Amino acid sequence: MSVLYTTMPLELMFPSEESTNRQYVKRQGRLMEVELVDYNQAKLVRLFSTDPNDYLNEQLQPGVFV
């Protein structure tokens, strides 16, 4: 058994098959991980922000189409 001391998310170190359609984008000055649904539509998967108010914003909730 190995122990990994890293700041990288496990999804980047051990990508799964379902994460092949995911990208990191910056929208409204916020970094987010989105899953591509169509060529012009993406679903928000994860938000990366240090502002707690961003997590209360309904437009930035996981599952919202951006």
Q: Percent of the chain, pLDDT > 90? A: 58
- Residue-wise pLDDT for 13-43, tens only, equals 776 666 568 899 999 899 999 999 988 899 9
Q: Is the pLDDT of residue 51 over 60?
A: yes
Q: Where are the domains of the chain?
A: 17-60
Residue 5: the pLDDT is: 85
Alpha helices in the chain (DSSP H): 10-13
Residues 6+ apart with CB under 8 A from 12: none
What is the per-residue pLDDT for 20?
67
Average pLDDT over all residues of the chain: 87
Residue 8 DSSP symbol: S
In one-letter notation, the amino acid at residue 29 is G
